[in-house]
């Protein structure tokens, strides 16, 4: 298969990360990949024009390729208001839309778009995120990690609150809030919890998340919503159990074999607190449930270690970029043969 693989951003960000991993994975399964994101290849009619990223920023080529395919996510059940019209127009010109989760499809399926939609989960570079040994004994400090840009959608403030509820003034436990992007919420949390030795705020931009994962035992993901959540399976791949909100896309690849659920509260917040002028509500994870899960992870460290091992094996068996590339090619072939 010949693929003209396009994206709107090659700067260091999640868009570029996915594009680079998929480009390599397509090549490894013997697809011919043309990766000039701007200029069309010669004989474009022989290629699948494949766009990845924010649909509002897609720019389909002027020539007619063999098939137009888009890959997109959505963190809300409706499209972001300021991009909605453009996104609908661009997705409507595709012959096939691929989303990494059933949850991500909802914003598109409930929009005026009559395009077939397939679900193909994203993956992990398991060679770059290998299983990593950690010291789990009670004599060692248990290190929890809150990762990703500190923000409302990630539930970062709830993770800090739950950690303090579980471990106030306890020794041999620590929380790192890692946000390589300086956000308003990060600044607020740094001000509020300045000087608290149990919590570290890390703004370092690492070459690889493995540098952070390898220093921690358990990942916290108190998200309100995720379009997929790349950091979660990456952490799992290294042997980290996850304490996970029972909501949105990660529910589709996570189970309590790999950590613990954070049950959701009966409190809701408008999506517009994160995505301006966008309708809908997100349910908040329960701080009490998260605190209890953290306390149990610390108390039953052998169980946590075993959960991390199972998580790592699951990712290797089911969630590599090779699996993603094969799934995308299969979905495209199904559309070509329809």
Which residues lie across from 71 on neighbouring strands?
52, 98
Q: Are residues 51 and 153 in the same domain?
A: no
Query: Are 225 and 76 in contact, with CB atoms under 8 Å apart?
Result: yes
Mean pLDDT, range 158-177, rounded to an integer: 95
How far from 164 is each of 122, 187, 195, 299, CA to CA, in Å? 33, 18, 14, 16
- Please state the rounded mean pLDDT for residues 104-116: 96
Q: Where are the alpha helices (DSSP H) in 69-177?
A: 84-92, 102-109, 156-167
pLDDT at residue number 278:
86
Over residues 301-325, mean pLDDT: 98
The answer to whether residues 332 and 309 belong to one domain is no
Average pLDDT (51-56) is 96
Which residues are CB-contacts of 101 (< 8 A; sequence separation ≥ 6)? 73, 119, 121, 227, 228, 248, 249, 252
Total of domains in the chain: 2
Closest CA to 77 of 295, 337, 281: 281
Two tokens, residue 329: 């090619």
Q: What is the mean pLDDT of residues 109-132?
A: 97
| pLDDT 10s digits, 269-296 | 999 988 888 889 999 999 999 999 999 9
Distance CA 21, CA 237 (A): 16
Read off the pLDDT band of 15 (50, 70, 90).
confident
Expressed as residue numbers, the domain containing 102 is 2-123+320-336
Mean pLDDT over the full length of the chain: 95
Report yes or no on 39 lying in a domain.
Answer: yes
Same domain? For 18 and 114 the reply is yes
The phi and psi torsions of 62 (rounded to 5 degrees) equal -75, -30
Does residue 113 fall inside a structural domain? yes
Q: Does the pLDDT value for residue 330 go beyond 90?
A: yes
pLDDT score, position 180: 84
Taking the complete model, does pTM exceed 0.85, yes or no?
yes
User: Which pLDDT value is given to residue 12?
Assistant: 65
**pLDDT of 81 strictly over 80:** no
Greatest CA span in the chain, whole angstroms? 66
Q: Give me the pLDDT at residue 277, please.
A: 81
Angle at 237 between CA 229 and CA 304, to 5 degrees: 100
* CATH classification at residue 205: 3.40.50.2000
* 201 and 283 housed in the same domain: yes
Lowest average pLDDT, out of 12-21, 149-158, 230-239, goes to 12-21
């Amino acid at each position: 298969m010949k693929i003209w693989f396009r994206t709107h951003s090659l700067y260091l960000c999640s868009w570029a990360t996915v594009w680079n991993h998929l480009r390599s994975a397509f090549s490894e399964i013997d697809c011919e990949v043309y990766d000039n994101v701007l200029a069309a290849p010669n004989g474009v009619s022989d290629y699948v024009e494949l766009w990845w990223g924010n649909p509002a920023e897609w720019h389909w080529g002027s020539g007619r390729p063999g098939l137009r395919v888009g890959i997109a996510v959505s963190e809300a059940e409706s499209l972001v208001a300021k991009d909605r019209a453009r996104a609908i127009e661009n997705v409507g010109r595709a012959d096939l839309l691929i989303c990494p989760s059933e949850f991500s499809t909802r914003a598109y399926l409930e929009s005026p778009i009559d395009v077939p939609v397939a679900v193909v989960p994203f993956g992990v570079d398991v060679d770059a995120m290998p299983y990593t040994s950690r010291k789990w004994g009670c004599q060692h400090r248990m290190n929890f990690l809150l990762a990703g840009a500190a923000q409302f959608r990630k539930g970062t403030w709830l993770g800090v609150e739950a950690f303090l509820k579980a471990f106030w003034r306890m020794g041999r436990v620590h929380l790192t809030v890692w946000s390589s992007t300086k956000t308003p919420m990060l600044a607020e949390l740094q001000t509020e919890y300045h000087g608290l030795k149990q919590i570290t705020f890390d703004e370092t931009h690492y070459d690889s998340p493995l540098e952070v994962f390898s220093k921690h035992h358990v990942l916290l993901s108190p998200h309100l919503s995720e379009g997929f959540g790349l950091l979660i399976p990456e952490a799992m791949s290294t042997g980290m159990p996850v304490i996970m909100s029972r909501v949105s896309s990660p529910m589709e690849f996570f189970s309590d074999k790999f950590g613990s659920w954070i049950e959701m509260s009966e409190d809701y917040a408008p999506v517009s607190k994160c995505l301006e002028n966008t309708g809908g509500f997100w349910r908040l994870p329960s701080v009490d449930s998260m605190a209890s899960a953290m306390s149990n992870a610390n108390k039953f460290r052998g169980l946590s270690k075993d959960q991390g091992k199972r998580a790592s094996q699951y990712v290797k068996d089911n969630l590599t970029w090779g699996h993603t590339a094969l799934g995308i090619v299969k979905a495209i072939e199904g559309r070509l043969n329809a």
